[in-house]
A and B are shown apart, each in its own frame.
Chain A
């Protein structure tokens, strides 16, 4: 690593890396089918949204008490999964941890896709989406909703830059290599490469900008998930009214995000045949990272549930009974066991950190993470602050309708679509950074 090669070796090494990483961009086997599948999900979700726009939120299971359901659970999950870009490419990058180079772009892609759709998911849940501009026109700084809108858009902007900047040298290489690509694709490469000539000044600028962005994104990323947790924690509802919601959400987000990146890594390693770049070593390291963040999250879970369960305050009793032994008990304990504790224990042992087992475990973790958001959002609304009788059954019990479930699929398909498109236009591993690590002469990286 970092030994400099002579001109001839440089050219050969670079050629090899370029071939390996650009080949998947030309291979379209199964690609159309996948896109068709995503479009189908889009059409189903779009149809559901048209119904909802026409008839209002009454077509959902959202009623008087549970007015934040699947949509908001999904929103919280999306924000959570988007935090990983910050952890991998920023925190680990600033700590100068070298092994993240081949996976940083995968993490950034996942982060950007989830963050972009998180903002749109919120609009799905609004009673009057046509009045969304009012959030800016009649903005009130005192409202946590406004804080959320502000930080989510800032995060999307910084994440975009953090994804696009390292694409510049790669786009320049692609412009040279992908001469047979359609015109619009070459146009994109020309635009993104923005006049890259691999001069030392350009390297200095790009490295410095990436460093500034990596530092900037840390507080913004912490802010988006903390503010999202405050949407809940700033109310008086038992189950939400707690002071540790900020860090509890942030650590939970790291668990979900690391699992998402592991799944992405496995997919690209197998489908793009990148086993030489995304190696067992990387999975091993990501497994260790997942153990670390899961332990921290486990600690916050104990804080979140043990302390109120020890006191059993009048207000908390119904909520905790529902989770521990009531109607949400099966989901609650499954999520804690299969989504957190068992993965945590398994991943301590090395054989489970091999690519296939860790990918399977990550799928459990990510499903657990989604259901955990549901358990945070919904049960807390099913009981009122004060006693009340004779309310309709559907006020107290939340049952998502078909329209709601179909519409929840739309943003999920959207996230996958964005990741697919980026991964089809650009190499999923930064060519120039890998080449630099292998000691390729920087001036030929164009």
Chain B
């Protein structure tokens, strides 16, 4: 079992529906978010190209945040999901500093919070809130070990990339290009 997500940068319109869905589903405090939209502009006028990306925790195999956590609050769940035990976290901030994707934030209650792939939905067999809500259906989620899952099919059929591969984190959010 290895959960992963593939996001189609050609289909994404940058509407931020995923951001709002996540904030609602996970009760994210106002002023914070677990996922966000990035616009990357390339070229010069009039030959411009814009890539839209919905970004979040990459649920890395070689996760720097899990490595540096002093108490084991940051840990990897079944299926490769990186999670934080909020009652174990001391709020030292080491994981925030170590994450090259800036996927973590300090919750006002003192612990560190981040994307969980909506783990509470996964255990019920549902998809993460951001995936379910996407109006252009540009996100594919599923088990990489299952070759018939949405994500496996998407990655098999399309060219794709990951973010900051030089960091050596082995991220599991793929961008279809």
Which A residues contact B (CB, under 8 angstroms)?
A: 56-58, 62, 64-65, 67-68, 122, 125-129, 131-132, 134-135, 137-140, 142-146, 149, 231-232, 234-237, 240, 381, 384-392
Residue ID in chain B nearest A381 by CB atoms: B97
B64 touches A235 (CB 8 A): yes
Given contacts A135-B71, A145-B68, A387-B38, 5 further A-B pairs with CB under 8 A are: A64-B105, A126-B91, A138-B88, A143-B67, A386-B163
Asked, given contacts A384-B102, A385-B101, A385-B167, whether A143 binds B94 with beta carbons under 8 Å apart, the answer is: yes
Beta-carbon contact of A68 and B93 below 8 Å = yes
Type the 1/0 row for B62-84, where 1 means its CB is closer than 8 Å to any CB of A. 00100111111100000000000
Evaluate whether A56 and B110 lie within 8 angstroms (CB atoms) in the complex, with A126-B92, A128-B89, A385-B102 already known: yes
Instruction: Please give the distance in Å from B56's CB to the nearest CB on chain A.
Output: 12
User: Could you jot down 16 A-B contacts, CB within 8 Å?
Assistant: A64-B105, A68-B93, A127-B89, A127-B109, A128-B90, A131-B88, A139-B70, A140-B72, A143-B68, A145-B68, A235-B98, A240-B97, A385-B167, A386-B38, A386-B163, A387-B40
> Is A237 a contact of B164 with CB atoms below 8 Å?
no
Interface status of B119 (Cβ within 8 A of chain A): no
A64 to B72, CA, bound (A): 21
Q: How many Å from the CB of A271 to the closest CB on chain B?
A: 40
Chain A neighbourhood of B112, CB < 8 A: 127
What's the A-B contact tally at a CB cutoff of 8 Å?
123
Chain B residues near A135 (CB-CB < 8 A): 70-71, 90
Mostly, the A contact residues are: loop
In this complex, what residue of A is CB-closest to B98?
A235
- Distance between Cα atoms of A237 and B101 in the complex (Å): 11
- B residues with a Cβ closer than 8 A to A are 31-32, 36-40, 55, 64, 67-73, 88-94, 96-98, 100-102, 105-112, 163-164, 167
Which chain B residues border A131 with CB–CB below 8 Å? Answer: 71, 88-91
B102 → chain A closest CB, angstroms: 5
- B38 pairs with A57, CB closer than 8 A: no
Beta-carbon contact of B68 and A56 below 8 Å: no
A183 to B56, CA, bound (A): 64
A272 and B60 CA atoms in complex are apart in Å by 60
Whether the Cβ atoms of B106 and A64 lie closer than 8 Å is yes
Q: How far is A68 from B90 in the complex, measured between Cα atoms in Å?
A: 14
Q: Is the CB of B71 within 8 A of A237?
A: no
Q: Hey, which chain A residues are within 8 Å of B167, CB to CB?
A: 236, 385
Instruction: List B contacts of A139 (CB < 8 A).
Output: 70-71
- Smallest Cβ distance from B16 to chain A, in angstroms? 9
Q: How far is the CA of A381 from the CA of B93 in the complex (A)?
A: 12
